[in-house]
């Protein structure tokens, strides 16, 4: 019954690596979102997409890019991972505000 799937629960990557975080939803939702969670700062919006090939910067887009080639998949890309990108990453999708779902999160550690 999983509706929003993030490809990994835990990831460890090296500084400078290119990192892809994948999020897939099976509900035909137009809107998808990427957040990161840090102690004391809570969850903050990195990027969102309101349709295929459409994207908007959130509050903290620096160091990230995204890709939405198909409606069901929204990828977060760290072009050159850095230690300050060690965080929990959360994907969400929605059709309307009353139909919104969250992934389980990906804990990324950059060493």
Partner 1 sequence: KNEVEQSPQNLTAQEGEFITINCSYSVGISALHWLQQHPGGGIVSLFMLSSGKKKHGRLIATINIQEKHSSLHITASHPRDSAVYICAIWGSNYKLTFGKGTLLTVNP
Interacting residues toward partner 1 by CB under 8 A:
9, 31, 33, 35, 40-45, 48, 50, 56, 58, 90, 92, 97-98, 100-105, 107
What is the rounded distance in angstroms from the CA atom of residue 21 to the CA atom of residue 41? Answer: 21
Cα–Cα distances (Å) from 43 to 10, 16, 97, in that order, read 18, 24, 18
Closest CB 20 distance from partner 1, rounded Å: 19
- State the minimum distance, in angstroms, from the CB of residue 83 to partner 1: 20
**Distance in Å, CB of 48 to partner 1, minimum:** 6
- Alpha-carbon span 24 to 17, nearest angstrom: 23
């Amino acid at each position: 019954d999983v509706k929003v799937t993030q490809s990994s629960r835990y990831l460890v990557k090296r500084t400078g690596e290119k990192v892809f975080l994948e999020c897939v939803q099976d509900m035909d939702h137009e809107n998808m979102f990427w957040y990161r969670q840090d102690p004391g700062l809570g969850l903050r919006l990195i990027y969102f997409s309101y349709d295929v090939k459409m994207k908007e910067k959130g509050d903290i887009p620096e160091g990230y890019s995204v890709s939405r080639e198909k409606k069901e998949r929204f990828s977060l890309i760290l072009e050159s991972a850095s230690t300050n990108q060690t965080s929990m990453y959360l994907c969400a999708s929605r059709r309307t505000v009353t139909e919104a779902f969250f992934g389980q999160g990906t804990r990324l550690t950059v060493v």
